[in-house]
Amino acid sequence: MSSNTKLKDNLRAAILAEPDAVLDDKDLMQALVAANEHARGANVIDLRGIAMQRLEARLDRLEDTHRSVIAAAYENLAGTNQVQRAILRLLEPVKFEDFLQTLGNDVAEILRVDHITLVLESTVIQEDPAIEKLGGVLTVVEPGVIDAYLSKDRSGPVRDVVLRQVQQPSPRIFGLNASQIKSEACLKLDLGEGRLPGMIAMGAKDANHFTPQLGTDLLSFFAGVFERSMRHWLS
């Protein structure tokens, strides 16, 4: 018996010992099917094989979709946890200055953004040393600036949450680091009856961090909690 025959005998014995291993090997089964089709010749069409190939393709697409859905679910869960942690951290300060510092530092870190600014409208605009000490987390603007900023480069009614890439970031909103901001999330705040609106501007150096295609539910929830906290501080 030649060495090649002995190899074939060994291979045959291995297959007979574990036939399930062959059936479970997708690449091996495809090779066997291809060999069988080649042996039949080109004038024979295997409809069952064609159907199986189509089913396999559909199964691959379903598996890809399944993985995408799971990944999206994990991402959404991670985003929910981030927003919850940020809100809990905002509820800790007992002084308004500490509240703003927490927004600009801890909350920005938790939400993984590079800069957060609280924008408030006022009929009185003046330089305040106390605002300068906050490191750019608070800025005061004239009435109407927030709606104009939210509707910039877009038509239609003003949205409460705007996600977009930034071509020319505003130094008035993002301060000295404005040139590094490539995308932003702008959350309009209702500060109560008789008060001018406010806005939270979150800036990121990554141009794809905030895009119009992203969901806004979590950011809307964060804005709702924040504006209620602001009403408490302003009362």
Query: Do 45 and 142 lie in a common domain?
Result: no
Q: What is the pTM of this model?
A: 0.67
Query: Do 35 and 86 lie in a common domain?
Result: no
Q: What is the mean pLDDT of residues 152-178?
A: 86
Residue 198 pLDDT exceeds 90? yes
Q: What is the mean pLDDT of residues 180-185?
A: 94
Query: Do 154 and 96 lie in a common domain?
Result: yes
pLDDT for residue 1:
44
Can you give the CATH number for the domain in which 157 is found? 3.30.450.40
Query: Do 90 and 155 lie in a common domain?
Result: yes
Share of the chain above pLDDT 90, in %: 36
Query: Do 56 and 95 lie in a common domain?
Result: no
Distance CA 113, CA 79 (A): 13
Q: What is the mean pLDDT of residues 31-41?
A: 65
pLDDT for residue 60:
76
**Which residue's structure tokens are 């979709």?**
65
In a domain, 88, yes or no: yes
Q: What is the mean pLDDT of residues 4-32?
A: 72
Q: What is the pLDDT of residues 93-146, one digit of tens each?
A: 989 889 999 999 999 999 999 999 999 998 877 666 666 666 688 888 999 999
Query: Do 124 and 209 lie in a common domain?
Result: yes
Query: Do 190 and 145 lie in a common domain?
Result: yes
**Average pLDDT score, the chain:** 82
Query: Do 56 and 93 lie in a common domain?
Result: no
In a domain, 164, yes or no: yes
Please tell me the total count of domains within the chain: 2
Distance CA 61, CA 130 (A): 58
In a domain, 134, yes or no: yes
- 114 contacts 180 by C-beta, under 8 angstroms: yes
In a domain, 121, yes or no: yes
Residue 187's beta-bridge partner residues? Answer: 161, 200
Alpha carbon separation from 213 to 167, 200, 209 (Å, rounded): 18, 20, 11
Query: Do 88 and 170 lie in a common domain?
Result: yes
Query: Do 113 and 210 lie in a common domain?
Result: yes
Query: What is the span of the domain harbouring residue 96?
Result: 80-234
Range with lowest mean pLDDT among 4-13, 180-189, 214-223: 4-13
Which amino acid is present at 97? E
Alpha helices in the chain, H assignment, sequence order: 3-17, 19-24, 26-40, 47-90, 96-102, 108-110, 129-132, 145-150, 171-174, 217-234
In a domain, 23, yes or no: yes
Q: Provide the pLDDT confidence category of residue 3 given band limits of 50, 70 and 90.
A: very low
Three-state SS for 121? strand
Query: Do 26 and 111 lie in a common domain?
Result: no
**Which residue's structure tokens are 């009185």?**
124
In a domain, 68, yes or no: no
Query: Do 39 and 108 lie in a common domain?
Result: no
pLDDT for residue 188:
95
In a domain, 73, yes or no: no
Q: Which of 19, 36, 62 is the last residue of a domain?
A: 62
